[in-house]
Amino acid sequence: MGRAVYRLLIAVFLCLMTYGSKAAPVSVWIALSEPGGVYAEAAEALRAEVERVHPGRVEWRIANAAELRQARPEPHWVVAVGSSAQRAMQEQFADDPTPPPMLAILVPRLAFERIADVGKLRAGLQSAVYLDQPPARQLMLAQLAFPGLRSLGILLGAESRGLAPAFEKAAREQGIQLNSQVVAGDGLFPALQSLLPDVDALLAVPDPAVFNSQTAANILAAAYRRRIPMIGFSPAYTRAGALLSLYSTPAQVGTRAGEILRQAFAGRLLPPPQWPRDFVVSVNPDVSRSLELNLVESQLAQQLRLKERP
């Protein structure tokens, strides 16, 4: 009951705030975790998508989260790009009784959920376009790339353990045997040794305790020694030696966020968090050839899109 009243109050307040200002611009802050790079790329794609449909309607302010700390007046909408921007913006408006809705982008699901305010999330005042890929999509790609796939291995750490139920559910639905191994205190190699003999392919699940720039080399090399292909989650993995990777580019995430944002302009509230809709499949042609697989990036991506949205 209290929640309904709260939401109503917010809606009324927002309506009052913007009443009679149909032509008045909507103000949007885009808070970046760091200047430039992938953050700016995502922000630019978001802005381009909104401008495409509502040219000139939005008053943009794109800056580092730290620079926005003292900024006034409060915007109508906030887009936080990256985890630290999400955290900073959330703190900035923590005591605000009528905070602007905030859309976090370029954040992995686990990171978003760790930071997000459950109340605001439920109220439609916080949402996200995740950076990671839905488990079902990852497993679908594994099946497309390896038609005879019997068992898929995943290595989990303390952080990514939280994703295990979602992976298990997707695996059950797609009839894939999922073998997961938790990397515990005794280290990576024992975990790899007990996992690799039982799997046909390895799916990398982001967890800095398991997959980082130090361990990735060992995992890739150990899997390749057994001729077990690995599916990575970034272009860097494909370059480093993963057979293929599935990921969304900052621009793809930004564009999707732009669509969500402009649709939200009308309703004043944000939809629930969602996975990125567009994605890229990149194949390492040398590894593919060496493992005697004939994988074509464009075909795989196309098949995956068709399977996901027939």
Partner 1 sequence: MAKLPTLLAICCAALAAGGALAQQASATEASERDYFEDLPVVLSVSRLAQPLNEVPGAVTVIDRELIRRSGAREVADVLRLVPGFLVTRRNGANPLATYHGAQDIYGARMQVYVDGRSVYSSFYLGDTHRGLQGIVLEDIERIEVLRGSNSASYGANAFLGVVNIITRHAADSRGGMVSLTRGDKGIDDGVARVGWAAGDIHLRLTASHRRDRGLDDLHDDSLLAQAHLRADWNPRPSDEVRLNMGSMRGRFGEGTRPAATNPGNIERMIDWEDVYMNASWRRDLGDGEEVAVHASYERDAYGDRFPYATIPTVTIDNGGNGDRMELGLQHTLRLAGRDRLVWGLEWRRETAQSQPFFFSNATFSANRFRGFLNYEWRPHPQVVVNAGGLYENHNIIGDSFAPRLMANFHFATDHTLRAGMTSASRAPGLYELRGDTRFFNGAALADWTFRSSGKVKAERLLSQEIGYLGRFRSLGLTVDGRAFVERMNDRIRFAGRTGAGVPNDAVNTPGPHIHGFEYQFDWQPTATTRILLAEAHLRSASGRADEVIEAPHRSTTLTLIQQLMRGVDLSLISHATTPFSWSGTNNVLDTPRQLDARLGWAFAMGATRGEASVTVQALNGGHQEYVRANRFNRRAFATLRLDF
* Nearest-angstrom CA–CA distance, 242 and 303: 20
- Which of 157, 254, 258, 276 binds partner 1 (CB under 8 A)? It is 157
Closest of 88, 86, 82, 84 to residue 70, by C-alpha: 88
The count of chain residues that interact with partner 1, using the rule CB under 8 A, is: 67
33 interacts with partner 1 by CB under 8 A:
yes
| 26 vs 233, beta carbon nearer partner 1 | 233
| 78 vs 115, beta carbon nearer partner 1 | 115
- Which of 15, 239, 271, 302 binds partner 1 (CB under 8 A)? It is 239
190 interacts with partner 1 by CB under 8 A:
yes
| 51 vs 297, beta carbon nearer partner 1 | 297
| 58 vs 78, beta carbon nearer partner 1 | 78
Window of 43-51, 53-61, 70-78, 202-210 that interacts with partner 1 by CB under 8 A: 202-210
Window of 18-26, 45-53, 217-225, 300-308 that interacts with partner 1 by CB under 8 A: 217-225
Binding residues for partner 1 restricted to 88-117, rule: CB under 8 A: 106-108, 110-111, 113-117
| 25 vs 190, beta carbon nearer partner 1 | 190
Q: How far is the CB of 222 from partner 1 (least distance, A)?
A: 6
Binding residues for partner 1 restricted to 276-305, rule: CB under 8 A: 284, 286-287, 289-292, 294
Q: Is 221 exposed, middle or buried (0-12, 13-18, 19+ CB in 10 A)?
A: exposed
180 interacts with partner 1 by CB under 8 A:
no
Chain residues binding partner 1 by CB under 8 A are 33, 37-38, 82-84, 87, 106-108, 110-111, 113-118, 121, 131-132, 147-148, 150, 157-160, 162, 165, 189-190, 192-194, 206-209, 211-213, 216-218, 220-222, 224-226, 233-234, 236-237, 239-241, 247, 284, 286-287, 289-292, 294
